[in-house]
Structure 1
Amino acid sequence: MDQNVPGGDRLDRRVFFPSLIVIASVIVPLFLFPESGPAAVNAAFAFATGQFGWLYLAAGLGAVVFLIGLACSRFGNVRLGGPDDAPEFSYFSWVAMIFCGGIGIAIVNWAWVEPIYYLQGPPFGVEPMSPAAAEWALTYGQFHWGLTPWAIYCLPSIPIAYSMFVRRNPGVRLSVAAGGVLGRHVDSWVGVLLDSVVVFGVVGGVGTSLGLAVPLVSRLVGGQFGIEPSLGLDLTILAIWTAIFGGSVWFGLSKGIKILSDTNVVLAILLLAFTFIIGPKIFIVNGWVNSLGQMTSSFIHMSTWTDPVGGSSFWRDWTVFYWAWWIAYAPMMGLFVARISRGRTIRELIVAELIWGSLGCWVFFAIWGGYALNLQVSGTLDVAAILSAEGIPATVQAILGTMPLSGLVTLVFIALCFIFLATTLDSAAYVLASVTSRKLSGYQEPKRSLRMAWALILAAVGIVLIQLGGLKPVQTSTIVVALPLIPVLVIMCISLLRWLRQDFGADENLRHLVAKRPGARAD
């Protein structure tokens, strides 16, 4: 099959317009029925997490077990591409794009404050604000942003990349990657519906990320320059964001998204290093070592804890919520990571996401979370009181204010916020353009005009939702989508295994796609 499908980058109206209908079917009722609409969404979310919370937990643990088994099997040697396909990006840039595309602005918010939430409401019946609660506060931050989330992200990446680069199936979509099970139904209404739901999940997810980011950056910018919060300030910030990620999407993977991701990682490392140097170094290191040890020894318990007798809601409010959130984002990450992973082996991809992705998040929580927790337990700053009274933006502002050169640090942090979210938004726009292209191959980029169209749609959704206060219901409805996505992910795993057994059931068929660079001898 030719690497470039003629006309493959053209708009596919079968997916594009149903996707817009799905988005409108959720957002419009929220506008028309501002009271009953959100109530219905919240009821659906309560049902999904309340009745099927155990399923989200099982899916998370199952993803970890499946990927570790796949990496350790002989199929881990399969290269995602032909025998002459070398990796498209350097290892650093590849990992940087994976991390920045998957985490975005969320970790910039939550790494500071999430341990404080756990300190105030710890799991397992631990007394709030106690030393034991402080230990679990750091541990659960590592758990909720570690192996399981990255396993959920990685799960769809492999069958999608396999479909694109080994099977050379035209179409950068979840439905195509499930072709080993769906068969001829890939091009039917079943496939169109699946891809339309994926588009809604991406738009809803990144739209709410904008809603999370704008209040934080507005608060910080206003504090630095003495500007009162206003609609004008919010729109200015959104315009800057749109310009950054729109330009990145315009230039494509190599000249736009790659450069922005590399810059993002370097800036994050500098700010983390500064926080560690000026912060309580021994407390941070001891807290990280202790939390990793506690998480490792309790991983299975934390992954399956439902407290059926005690009736605690901690596992639903946090773990189930997070697992649902990661599952909702998984299609976007799967499509994006698959597209940038040509020439990598299955084992390399699993290691990059599970090991490097987890390690990146752990560093954020160890340093920023440890710094904030030390402020609280040492009595330097009552972080918990500020968080309860004024929310996350004010809390982050107060924490940054305790640092030397706080004004300069805040400016650097604002820049990091802009770039971090932009790396998620440009990845999302690129994925949306790919999904709504006709039969795009893994060797083609979606049409530039389509990439820009989705960039503008994402910006418009963010603006409208912020002004109408519909962010929380859309975020919640996005997470509800995660429930039907669980069987879809299972289907994709079955599809992958069927293809692997068909293509590489015999050892001799595996020799030309072993874990060697092109031109190397296959042992």
Structure 2
Amino acid sequence: MGYPTNYQMGRIAYSPWRGTINIIKDNMENNLNKKDRDSIEIGLIIVSVVLLVAFIIFMVVNPETTINGINDFFWKMISVFGPIIEVFTFATFIIAIYLGCGKYGKVRLGDCKPEYSTFSYIAMMLLASLASAALYWSFTEWAFYYENPGLGMEAHSTQALESSLGYQFFHWGMTNQAMYTIMGVAIAYGVYVRKVPSFQTSAVCSAMMGEKVKGKSAIGKVIDFCVIFGILGGLSSSLGLAVPLASGGIKQLFGVEATPAIQIGIIVVIALVYTFTSYLGTNKGMKVISNGAAILCVAFLLYVLFAGPTTFILRNIVNSFGHMIQELPRMSLFTDPVENTGFAESWTIYFQAFYLNYVAMMGIFIAKISKGRTIRQVAVATILGISAGGWFLFGVDGSFSIKTFLDGSADVVGLVNSGVGDAAIYSILEVLPLGATLLPVVILLLIVGFVAPSMDSAALALAETVTKRGTPKMAMRIFWCVLLAVIPMCIILSGSGFDAIKQLAIIISVPFLIIVIGMEIGLFKWLRHDSRSGLHKTNIELQEKEDKEEFEKESKGAA
């Protein structure tokens, strides 16, 4: 008979899974009081976790069939929907700019002052968005564009090398971050202005359609399931990417090879940190570690800048930024129809689809920390704030990496082609003073500092997704913190790799194209209606009054 098909494994109606789900659900409900049962989506939690576990088991039992099947379907999907995803991303970027610069920019999300300083606000969003992936790719991504460039450039050419960092700026920059702007503003406006009782994506969508947020339709449940699976799959692979980079640092410092025990230990340490920050709460936990990680990262980058080839780094950053600005429309809509090299599918569209995978998580998190902010402030922070932080990181690390390659100090391209990008990073750092001793320690600290806020925000978004109303219970956040660590542990022990679950998470997240478009339409309907009703006038007048009082207070202090 063979193993069950993917379709059979995923069907709730399949009797063994249905029985298991019902038993677990009954046990969980018996251990919760009535108030908690009414506010938590127990069924959604069980279905999501059981299906994810089923997939991991199936992948472990039959790895080749699972991985090849998902890989084939993933690239076919990217090929078919790629142009649509590109147009959607570029259009969303334009809409987000209008949202921030237009007449609705002054609208405040909530009737209070911002809860966090501008530095903390951007630092939390930046680190939640970038995670450990940005730290890894900041040194190595340019090498892929040098080997296989886009826009019809010749491989290994001067043009390909000079444009490589510009492409990296683009992929991690404004157009993709604009998705977070739309999602964050839509959810924040729904909760703080329209008084939707939950941060659930489905709840905000229901309210936009004029429905009362009480029960939940089948579509709403599917939306929340996609959110949960996308976050668990995407963030688990992100944590998995941190493991080889951290293992390389440990090997550099102590000469210890990366065994499964070492890898599991790394995940446990990181998990303990982000679980503790989650337990402390956003203000005492995530804000503190985000501020600390941001300061340490800036110090590290300044050290690389001034201890390394300062002039080359600065010139390359400026040149790369100019290349990105000049080619932004073409990069955004490049499909390579004639040469068909696969660059657009492998990089630009892949990045855009991966950002779609994170859009719900980041939207919920941005909404949570944006109370009291104006729509313009959210747009500037997401489109420019996150992008500028990434440009500084990629600009310094990437330019220094390119210079070591040009000088022959580090064989970056060769090591990357050999599949040991983490070794390339530490060989690059060895060129600097203290590069073999202190800097690997800094990298290890940055890994924790980058991953913890991302995982903390993921746990928060997951807890909000299964909470119908009110603030999620701390136990629920801890539950998701633990699960986010257990999944990559299981994958490492199975030896299956993270590509399959990451690709599946992206596949499931593609429907967010429709969801984000629907939320864009719903948001502007809300804004137009509330503007005509006079709600925005009161909101803006209150903001201007508080801004005036703040200015007068600062003026008196200066005098």
Aligned to 2:553: none
Shift of 1:346: 0.6
Aligned to 1:158: 185
Cα distance in 2 for residues equivalent to 1:233 and 1:425: 20
Question: 1:319/1:518 Cα in 2 relative to 1: closer, same or farther (>3 Å)?
Answer: same
TM-score, structure 1 as length reference: 0.94
Question: 1:26/1:66 Cα in 2 relative to 1: closer, same or farther (>3 Å)?
Answer: farther
For the Cα contact (< 8 Å) 1:119–1:137, is it kept in 2?
yes
The answer as to 2:179 corresponding to 1:179 is no
Cα distance in 2 for residues equivalent to 1:343 and 1:298: 36
1:282-321 paired onto structure 2 within 5 Å: 282-321=311-350
| Matched letter for residue 89 of structure 1 | Y
Higher mean C-alpha displacement, 335-344 vs 166-175: 166-175
Aligned to 1:336: 365
Which residue of 487, 497, 500 maps to 1:461? 487
Which residue of 472, 478, 482 maps to 1:452? 478
Aligned to 2:142: 115
| Matched letter for residue 242 of structure 1 | A
Cα distance in 1 for residues equivalent to 2:310 and 2:390: 18
Shift of 1:91: 1.2
Q: Which runs of 5+ in 1 are unaligned?
A: 1-5
Question: 1:225/1:298 Cα in 2 relative to 1: closer, same or farther (>3 Å)?
Answer: same
Aligned to 1:431: 461
The answer as to 2:348 corresponding to 1:348 is no
Shift of 1:269: 0.4
Higher mean C-alpha displacement, 22-31 vs 460-469: 22-31
Deviations 1:123-159 (A, max 9, x none): 1332222211111111101110111121122221111
1:361-510 paired onto structure 2 within 5 Å: 361-406=390-435, 407-440=437-470, 444=471, 446-468=472-494, 469-506=496-533, 508-510=534-536
1:90-109 paired onto structure 2 within 5 Å: 90-109=117-136
Which residue of 170, 173, 188 maps to 1:143? 170
Cα distance in 1 for residues equivalent to 2:98 and 2:37: 35
Which residue of 45, 58, 66 maps to 1:37? 66
Aligned partner of residue 153 in structure 2, secondary structure: coil
For the Cα contact (< 8 Å) 2:202–2:223, is it kept in 1?
yes
Shift of 1:15: 2.5
1:17-96 paired onto structure 2 within 5 Å: 17-82=46-111, 85-96=112-123
| Matched letter for residue 369 of structure 2 | I
Aligned partner of residue 302 in structure 1, secondary structure: helix
| Matched letter for residue 487 of structure 2 | V
Aligned to 1:3: none
Cα distance in 2 for residues equivalent to 1:322 and 1:208: 15
Cα distance in 2 for residues equivalent to 1:483 and 1:426: 24
Cα distance in 2 for residues equivalent to 1:521 and 1:489: 32
| Matched letter for residue 341 of structure 1 | S
Identity %: 30
Cα distance in 2 for residues equivalent to 1:295 and 1:65: 16
The structure having more radius of gyration, on CA atoms, is 2
Deviations 1:67-90 (A, max 9, x none): 1111122111111112xx111111
Question: 1:163/1:8 Cα in 2 relative to 1: closer, same or farther (>3 Å)?
Answer: farther
Cα distance in 2 for residues equivalent to 1:521 and 1:293: 35
| Matched letter for residue 187 of structure 2 | I
Deviations 1:202-257 (A, max 9, x none): 00011001111111101211220121221221121111111100100111111111
Higher mean C-alpha displacement, 347-356 vs 183-192: 183-192
Cα distance in 1 for residues equivalent to 2:51 and 2:479: 17
Deviations 1:304-352 (A, max 9, x none): 1111112121111100000000111111000011011000011100000
The answer as to 2:352 corresponding to 1:323 is yes
For the Cα contact (< 8 Å) 1:95–1:356, is it kept in 2?
yes
TM-score, structure 2 as length reference: 0.88
Aligned to 1:221: 250
Q: Which runs of 5+ in 2 are unaligned?
A: 1-34, 550-559
Q: Using CA pairs under 8 Å that are at least 6 residues apart, name the structure with larger relative contact order, 1 or 2.
A: 1
Question: 1:8/1:293 Cα in 2 relative to 1: closer, same or farther (>3 Å)?
Answer: farther
Question: 1:102/1:258 Cα in 2 relative to 1: closer, same or farther (>3 Å)?
Answer: same
| Matched letter for residue 320 of structure 2 | S
Aligned partner of residue 336 in structure 2, secondary structure: coil
Shift of 1:521: 7.8
For the Cα contact (< 8 Å) 1:7–1:438, is it kept in 2?
no
Cα distance in 2 for residues equivalent to 1:315 and 1:294: 18
For the Cα contact (< 8 Å) 1:164–1:170, is it kept in 2?
yes
| Matched letter for residue 63 of structure 2 | P
Counting matched residue pairs gives 511
Question: 1:228/1:391 Cα in 2 relative to 1: closer, same or farther (>3 Å)?
Answer: closer
Cα distance in 2 for residues equivalent to 1:7 and 1:492: 29
| Matched letter for residue 474 of structure 2 | R
For the Cα contact (< 8 Å) 2:201–2:223, is it kept in 1?
yes
| Matched letter for residue 424 of structure 1 | S
| Matched letter for residue 79 of structure 2 | G
| Matched letter for residue 508 of structure 2 | V
Shift of 1:481: 2.1
For the Cα contact (< 8 Å) 1:48–1:483, is it kept in 2?
no
Cα distance in 1 for residues equivalent to 2:115 and 2:461: 17
Deviations 1:172-201 (A, max 9, x none): 111112124444386212111110110000
Cα distance in 1 for residues equivalent to 2:413 and 2:282: 41
For the Cα contact (< 8 Å) 1:287–1:370, is it kept in 2?
yes
Shift of 1:21: 3.5
Shift of 1:519: 4.9
Shift of 1:40: 1.6
Question: 1:320/1:515 Cα in 2 relative to 1: closer, same or farther (>3 Å)?
Answer: farther
Aligned partner of residue 133 in structure 1, secondary structure: helix
For the Cα contact (< 8 Å) 1:327–1:482, is it kept in 2?
yes
Cα distance in 2 for residues equivalent to 1:503 and 1:366: 42
Aligned partner of residue 451 in structure 1, secondary structure: helix
| Matched letter for residue 120 of structure 1 | E
Cα distance in 2 for residues equivalent to 1:457 and 1:400: 34
